[in-house]
Amino acid sequence: MKTITFKADDHVDDWLEKQARALRVSKSQIVRDAVEKTRREKVAPSCHDLMQAACGSLHSGVKDLATNKKHLKGFGAWKR
């Protein structure tokens, strides 16, 4: 087993201390358990992960769409 360290805010350290006392385990054990639980959880794919094959597949015909600010005119404006 290897030793690693991390920096925690005072409130995180206080919480770990209280949990360790309540559970009668070390702070290290709480962190190990949390890391192991996170490692085992299946993380839901992001929207980008699901749509990755389609990303960039649509063409607007405008070559400077991403770089020319004139194309952003009115973007995000509330329309009634």
Tell me the C-alpha distance between 64 and 56, whole Å: 14
Q: Hey, which bits of 1-80 come out as E strands?
A: none
Mean pLDDT of the chain: 87
Residue 17 within any structural domain of the chain: yes
Residue type, 2: K
Does residue 56 lie in a domain region?
no
Range of the domain at 22: 8-47
Tell me the pLDDT tens digit for each residue of 25-39. Answer: 999 999 999 999 888
Q: Tell me if 14 is assigned to some domain.
A: yes
Residue 20 lies in a domain: yes
21 within some domain: yes
Residue 35 lies in a domain: yes
Query: Would you say the pTM of this structure is higher than 0.85?
Result: no
| Secondary element (H or E) of residue 14 | helix 10-23
Number of domains in the chain: 1
